[in-house]
Chain A
């Protein structure tokens, strides 16, 4: 065998190993969650809030955390989208390519992306202390929105940069304004990418514990107002694991299973929506 064939073989081998590693770790995680969580998973867990001594192994469920997480991540995703879209449309349609300002905005997002979530949490907490505010769903939503803002913006930005210049020119040439071009052409063309970006951000937001620890707090009740504290699944898992009672520890895995299932369902549903919208795209 000549050298180039051997090279080819070695690289193919390495690529296979990497692929297998990824799939294997996914299977391992899922297996752990399912094996340890399934036995203690029951209907009460997803239909009831904690009742009388839940954390001591008594009855009830984690509906408070499920609803809290959905409200919080949903609210944060919507808020973050309301900020991301205008910024990204500005960067790609209005601003001159490679202007100093756009470069600075992109750089800022990249830096923000790298900041650990506990820092966002601490930042939010400091501001809340300053204004003498208590932990609440609203505070959690704002901090998580900030946390996922760079992820969402930069991901959508990368997709929008791929839109062919000719497509945008075509719309201008027909007499469309920049705004019309942004909404009727660019957003349509990048919709699958935008949905993916929203999903990645949502997944990050729903799974983060550090940013909500001090800002959203925790509560045994489903929040009925934006100003009430809210429980979240990651924190529920955290608290359950912390107890010395084995029964409750096992529930942590059941909670992890529920969190994973929620993310999975959201991904699948949005894939289906994306496919429906992507038939018109220009390659």
Chain B
């Protein structure tokens, strides 16, 4: 099947053991736009997001059916090289997880794994992505300090820089601002807006206002089912489904 969008999901089902977590999901994620996945807690947002880079593979008793096409390639196909798909996608988790190494080594981790050894090239990469995430000025004099000493907000920006350094096409964020203070959250949001010129961005969020501020496109999940998808205007101003309307108005959570 041909797919104009960047990611195209067809009849995706995810089971954890006997539990049916994602139920027959089909959706399209537009290229170089911000897509927000919203829905109440436990509805499967994280599971859906982690299906895109096959992180759920490592969970116990997981079974996945259907297809997920990324650039027209079914990434659920058994012959797919997982590290390749993951290289295409940067991931930001709810809490920043700097790796147990220096600030420099954190950003250089991905490029090194993918074969860049030249010190000068690595220096350039590190500087470039730290600048892109507004971190350079704050850390340029202590690049060799442990990343764990940064503030949580700085750590999340470092994680973003680290993710961008592998040159992904897609950025996945699982409630990437929920552990941050308002100012750090704002910085991350602004970065996302900037980055959406060049990257396809998918964020999971609990905060409807954040989805309204950021998203061009919205996906609403409820109890593992996709209830509605559409442009931000359609979903927020004029939802077709009663359920979506109720969720937007805060009647279900």
A interface vs B, CB < 8 Å? 96-98, 164, 166-177, 180, 184-185, 188-189, 279-283
| Size band of the interface chain B makes with A | 20 to 34
Known pairs A280-B147, A280-B148; A175 contacts B114 (CB<8 A): yes
Task: Report the stretch among B82-90, B118-126, B132-140, B212-220 that lies at the interface.
Answer: B82-90
In-complex Cβ contact of B100 among A96, A97, A172, A282 (8 A): A282
Interface readout for B176-218 with A: 1 if CB under 8 Å, 0 if not? 0000000000000000000000000000000000000000000
The answer to whether B147 touches A174 (Cβ under 8 A) is no
A175 touches B97 (CB 8 A): no
CA–CA, A180 and B93, complex, Å? 20
Whether the pair B55, A175 counts as a contact (CB closer than 8 A) is no
Report B-chain residues with C-beta under 8 Å of the C-beta of A185.
Answer: 99-100
| Contact (A175, B110) CB under 8 Å given A170-B91, A170-B159 | yes
Q: What are 17 A-B pairs at a CB distance below 8 A?
A: A96-B61, A166-B93, A167-B100, A168-B58, A169-B91, A170-B99, A172-B55, A173-B91, A173-B163, A174-B87, A174-B113, A174-B162, A174-B163, A177-B83, A188-B99, A189-B100, A282-B98
Known: A174-B109, A175-B87, A180-B113. A282 touches B99 (CB 8 A): yes
* Bound-complex Cα distance A169 to B97 (A): 9
Known: A166-B93, A166-B97, A281-B100. 15 other contacts (CB 8 A): A166-B95, A167-B99, A169-B55, A170-B159, A171-B99, A172-B58, A173-B90, A173-B163, A174-B162, A175-B83, A175-B86, A175-B87, A175-B110, A188-B100, A189-B100
- Please provide the chain B residues from 54 to 85 with a CB less than 8 Å away from any CB of chain A in the complex: 55, 58, 60-61, 83-84
Q: Of all chain A residues, which has the CB nearest B111?
A: A174
Interfacial chain A residues near B87, Cβ < 8 Å: 174-175
Does any Cβ of A come within 8 Å of B146's Cβ? Answer: yes
CB pair B146 A173 closer than 8 Å: no
- The 3 nearest A-B residue pairs measured at CB: A173-B91, A175-B87, A280-B146
A280 and B102 contacting across the interface, CB-CB below 8 Å:
yes
Bound-state CA distance A189–B146 (Å) is 12
Binary contact track B141-174/A, C-beta < 8 Å → 1, others 0:
0000011100000000001001100100000000
- In the complex, whether B101 has a CB less than 8 A from a CB of chain A is yes
Min CB distance A189 to B, Å, is 4
Which residues of B are interface residues toward A (Cβ below 8 A)?
A: 53, 55, 58, 60-61, 83-84, 86-87, 89-91, 93, 95, 97-102, 109-110, 113-114, 146-148, 159, 162-163, 166
Most B-side CB within 10 Å, residue of A172, A175, A185, A282: A175
Min CB distance A250 to B, Å, is: 50
Q: Whole-angstrom distance between the alpha carbons of A57 and B102 in the complex?
A: 58
The answer to whether A174 and B110 touch (CB under 8 A), given A279-B146, A280-B146, is: yes
Which of B84, B101, B148, B159 touches A283 (beta carbons < 8 Å)? Answer: B148
Which chain A residues lie closer than 8 Å to B61 at the CB level?
Answer: 96
- Give the distance in Å from the alpha carbon of A164 to the alpha carbon of B221 in the complex: 28
Residues B84 and A175 in contact, CB atoms below 8 Å apart:
yes
Q: Is the CB of B166 within 8 A of A169?
A: no
